[in-house]
Structure 1
Amino acid sequence: MMCGVKRAAVIGGGISGMMSAYVMAKEGIEVVLYEKEACLGGHANTVTVNGTQLDIGFQVFNRVTYPNMMELYESLGVDMEPSDMSFSVSLADGQGCEWGTRSFSSLFAQKKNIFNPKELNNNEDIDRNETLGHFVRSRGYSELFEKAFLIPTCASIWSCPKEIMDLSAYSVLSFLRNHHALQVSHYIRISIIRWHILIFVAHLLNIDKEGLPFFSTLNPPYEPENTVLKWSTSHPIPSVGATKASAELNCIQGKRRIWFCGAFQGYGFHEDGLKAGALAANSLLRKDFTLQQNPKYMTTSWSEAGARLLVTRLLEEGGTIFTFEGSDKSCTLKVSLRIHTPQFYWKIAKESDLGLADAYINGDFTFVDKKKGLLNLFMSNELFSLFLDESMAYSCAVFKTTDEDLKNAQLRKIDMLIEKARINKEHHVLEIGCGWGSLAIEIVKRTGCKYTGITLSEKQLQYAELKVKEAGLQDQIKFLLCDYRQLPEAVGHEYMEEFFRCCETALADNGLFVLQFISIADEKYDEYRLSQGFIKEYIFPGGCLPSLSRVTSAMATASRLSVSHLEDIGIHYYQTLRCWRENLLINQNKILALGFDDKFMRTWEYYFDYCAAGFKLRVLGTYQIVFSRPGDVAAFGCDPLTSAPF
């Protein structure tokens, strides 16, 4: 790769080359990719046999040892599904040692081996420069152990049985450990790309009645009959020399504007190639980059194992995903959780809904879709209508008294925004995140202006357009279905400056920019944004609550705007949340009738209480800030002293 701002060359179109090209292209670099083969993808190889497409290089992976590949596939929307994978060995045509990984029973397929001490040897520490052959022989492992376990296991991975014993002992055994292949029983749950494997399995199960199933094998001891295709492929192997060379790779990276990357930098697999490509590209771009780390291997205590059995009715090790869809089959809403530590089960069994919150705060589980999270459960107009007021305003109201009606308090908040923005009939208002359109209708009714609102929810869009039509304001109000994070709005710490640049670009001459946002205390900001807390991922999935100083510093850095007025209405959010909670409990039976359960109700009750506490203690705030361009007197009217609503 040639270092430069505009163009880069990538040699090789395998997983490493394609990943590095992908990373650089996303940054706006023109990439030229060179590949000697007829197609890209390295081991990816689809052939047609008798009119049937066979993927002979289909990808298998799992969420524990392929975290970066999983993240890439999920970000690209690649369709995947779980599958089961097992391994078995049979020597001397079934007359020798036999064992498998399906269960404890299959491990000792020959029951006499249960009492054979040679079957139960443990490993000691390893010299990183030691070969696998020297390691096992110097520690007294038998020839049977080599033939019955080590060589078959490694050959199934690296497809080179003759050279297995010359590989690096450290690399091989650490790989086997990371992939749980050294356990007494390692029933593996893998993931596959859905369309590839469906074709393959259909023939495997002989669903195609016109022909026999296809069978793929590597390095068979003799050539099978009825062979329809024979091909060769290669794979990096973890030799001692490769291990030493990889440790010194940084000495040449970037020299003469050339970066090297490949699966050889790891164990030789797709995850290793992907990581190497991403690291090389980010190094060329001079950007910091943090790889996803393998989740910790989960070993449960007796109490945790019992709790897990109680909560899930099944045992899984190494991390798993549970999808909850409810018993009402007419309801399509669902949420998927990824379990990271066994403490999750104990906390849920012991503390129910509070245990769920505690487990989430401590990272015991996360949502598979971080941008949606529990929003998959509650993004319905019917649900919101049962705890919001008639205006369907899902933001902080402004109260005069604690017993004031919520609708009146929401209308007061809208009045404040209209006055602070100095809106008149000649203006065109852009609202980023328009919700269900309450502000749009009130603004146009009162001022007669033009209005455009942006939402990322189809259901909000449908509701808002219906309300606008009922009000007869279609000619003045327009809604757009748009991911407003593209502008971007509140997309996180790193993009705050870009947000202000974009907003100023959209702001007309003599225009005012009124921003209402939830904030976190400056003292807590760095700790909050660097951690996986309840607020950031559970309540505002995929977002990052800014602090006041972060917002104003971004404004000063990236725009010509300045603060004309600032007001913290956060204490009113406490009362707003109390009203929402009261409405939620009053309408509990109606919410349950929509398909939600008691656990959902308790979760939402906890959500409202948790947030209310944050606003009451002033850890959280809600600011309304008026921004203007310096010297733009016309933005405030002819007489700013008498017309100022501040």
Structure 2
Amino acid sequence: MGGQRQRIPGSVIHPPAVDAARWPAVAHRPGPSRSRDALARSLVRRALDRLPLRVRYGTGPVRGTTGPLLEIADPETFVRRVRRDGLVGFGESYLAHEWDAVDLVGVLTVFAAHADRIVPRWAQRLRGAWAPRRPAGQHHTPEAAPKHVHHHYDLSNELFGLFLDPTLSYSAALFSHLPATWDDLAAAQARKIDRLLDLAGVGPGTRLLDIGTGWGALALRAALRGARVVTVTLSEEQRRLAARRALRDGLTDRITLLLRDYRELEGRYDAIVSVEMIEAIGAAYWPRYFGTLQELLAPGGRIALQAITMPHDRMLATRHTYTWMQKYIFPGGFLPSVTALEQCAARHTRLRVARRDAYGDHYAQTLRLWRERFTARDAEVAALGFDTTFRRMWTFYLAYSEAGFRARYLDVQQILLQEADR
């Protein structure tokens, strides 16, 4: 590569205009601050120099000799965004076309793998003074939860249908082999669901509670086993489509679909399954979540959870930080650690982890397939009314998530919970 200019496919000299009414933080370029910009510029360059990346600032030469290439087209605005908003600004700078990369996942994987090296140790100790704080509206209260769900899951069933497999499963698949192809995905999603249902002991006559319906794939598969399923969601769009699928498959007599918060549920169930839902509720509500699971579980019952997790030390370091993902993709969300889940269950309930299986590499593959499908169908996404900034945002979201699993910064767990002996 040397100092030769590498063109980014699809890049443009003049990036498309950003709708300032819809994307104010992206459209608004931070103003200069001579003293702060100089310090930020020095810190950013030194941080990037420590990473296995090649970096080009503007039209200058490439710095570094190994790693994927990060092209910073507008270095001054990039630095100001990072100076003002940290990693939120880093993501917004990408949405504004101020930086790009041919291998976007590769660049983000480097950041994820070296998260503890990006910010100097002295600055990490002062994180509370400079990191953006989560707004009050980001907490997953009963009043805010429907808004948070609507923000993401009610975008458009047609949108999700463009990049998900025919099962419409929006969580980690479990492949029979890696690397995987698109043709493997539907079977891998069914395998993931079957493993969870087996973990929960779901069979004919099982009274099953499914917390977080999605588009109904798990409820449908459980009903085909002969279970009697109650499934709950706060997404009207998801509930509507899941109901149509249950009617299509002749399973309406075995599936009850509720538009309801999990905290409002009553009854007792032989098995409870919840797939990648605990990440949405926030650490403050984990005790209530586990308490509700215990209250709803019949004696001798089993709970199977699927959860995205992060290392415990990173969770503690970032628990009060406002992230790009929270601002743009999952309001109110927060990823737990395995340690935090085990401690919370033990402190607030009689539930104990009886088994745990991790398979993060499979999530990286799942996200890669979704991302490739999403970008390949860009014109169809645009035809649904989603503008250029939205499409770039979702590409970044999928790549950012994939990078986390590729770097093993993130993992995904299938967890069996049972009541401890009284």
TM-score by length of 2: 0.64
Structure-2 separation of matches of 1:363 and 1:422:
44
Q: Secondary structure at the match of 1:512?
A: strand
Q: CA deviation digits over 1:321-370, x for unaligned, max 9?
A: x532xxxxxxxxxx775999825993489755465999xxx978999975
Structure 1 segments unaligned to the other structure (5+ residues): 1-309, 314-321, 325-334, 633-646
398 and 353 in structure 1: CA distance in 2 versus 1, 3 angstrom threshold = farther
Task: Identify which of structures 1 and 2 has the higher relative contact order when contacts are C-alpha pairs closer than 8 Å and 6+ apart.
Answer: 2
Q: CA deviation digits over 1:210-249, x for unaligned, max 9?
A: xxxxxxxxxxxxxxxxxxxxxxxxxxxxxxxxxxxxxxxx
Q: CA deviation digits over 1:160-195, x for unaligned, max 9?
A: xxxxxxxxxxxxxxxxxxxxxxxxxxxxxxxxxxxx
Contact 2:358 2:411 in 1 (8 A): yes
Structure-2 separation of matches of 1:581 and 1:587:
10
* Aligned twin of 1:342: 30
Structure-2 separation of matches of 1:485 and 1:578:
34
Aligned amino acid, residue 532 of structure 1? Y
Structure-1 separation of matches of 2:161 and 2:217:
13
Aligned amino acid, residue 249 of structure 2? A
Q: CA deviation at 1:599?
A: 2.3
Pair 1:601-2:391 in alignment? yes
Contact 2:150 2:235 in 1 (8 A): no
* Aligned twin of 2:180: 403
Contact 2:164 2:370 in 1 (8 A): yes
Structure-2 separation of matches of 1:496 and 1:366:
18
* Aligned twin of 2:212: 433
* Aligned twin of 1:483: 261
* Aligned twin of 1:323: 21
CA RMSD of aligned residues (A): 3.5
* Aligned twin of 1:459: 237
369 and 558 in structure 1: CA distance in 2 versus 1, 3 angstrom threshold = closer
Aligned residues: 302
* Aligned twin of 2:48: none
2:195 to 416, 433, 452: 416
586 and 366 in structure 1: CA distance in 2 versus 1, 3 angstrom threshold = farther
Structure-2 separation of matches of 1:485 and 1:538:
25
Q: CA deviation at 1:427?
A: 1.2
Q: CA deviation digits over 1:281-309, x for unaligned, max 9?
A: xxxxxxxxxxxxxxxxxxxxxxxxxxxxx
Structure-2 separation of matches of 1:505 and 1:374:
27
1:508 to 295, 298, 319: 298
Q: CA deviation digits over 1:531-567, x for unaligned, max 9?
A: 1122344332112111111110010011111111101
541 and 612 in structure 1: CA distance in 2 versus 1, 3 angstrom threshold = same
Q: Secondary structure at the match of 1:392?
A: coil
Structure-2 separation of matches of 1:470 and 1:373:
26
456 and 373 in structure 1: CA distance in 2 versus 1, 3 angstrom threshold = closer
Alignment of 1:353-432 (within 5 A): 353=96, 355=98, 370=138, 372=148, 375=151, 379-401=155-177, 402-404=179-181, 405-432=184-211
* Aligned twin of 1:523: 313
Structure whose CA Rg is larger:
1
Indicate the percent of aligned positions where both proteins have the same amino acid: 34
Aligned amino acid, residue 288 of structure 2? E
Structure-2 separation of matches of 1:560 and 1:440:
27
Q: CA deviation digits over 1:394-426, x for unaligned, max 9?
A: 000011221341111101101101111111212
Alignment of 1:115-264 (within 5 A): none
* Aligned twin of 1:592: 382
Contact 2:404 2:410 in 1 (8 A): yes
Q: CA deviation digits over 1:56-78, x for unaligned, max 9?
A: xxxxxxxxxxxxxxxxxxxxxxx
Structure 2 segments unaligned to the other structure (5+ residues): 1-15, 33-75, 82-91, 101-107, 109-129, 139-146, 266-276
Structure-2 separation of matches of 1:586 and 1:473:
34
Alignment of 1:87-126 (within 5 A): none
TM-score by length of 1: 0.43
* Aligned twin of 2:251: 473
Contact 2:358 2:412 in 1 (8 A): yes
Q: Secondary structure at the match of 2:355?
A: strand
* Aligned twin of 2:366: 576
Pair 1:556-2:343 in alignment? no
Q: Secondary structure at the match of 2:204?
A: coil
* Aligned twin of 2:412: 622
After TM superposition, the structure 1 stretch with the greater mean CA deviation from structure 2, 384-393 or 622-631, is 622-631
Contact 1:397 1:406 in 2 (8 A): yes
354 and 621 in structure 1: CA distance in 2 versus 1, 3 angstrom threshold = farther
Aligned amino acid, residue 593 of structure 1? A
Q: Secondary structure at the match of 2:202?
A: coil
Structure-2 separation of matches of 1:630 and 1:368:
36
Contact 2:18 2:96 in 1 (8 A): no
Q: Secondary structure at the match of 2:393?
A: helix
Aligned amino acid, residue 251 of structure 2? L
Contact 2:152 2:329 in 1 (8 A): no
Q: CA deviation at 1:601?
A: 1.9
Q: Secondary structure at the match of 2:163?
A: coil
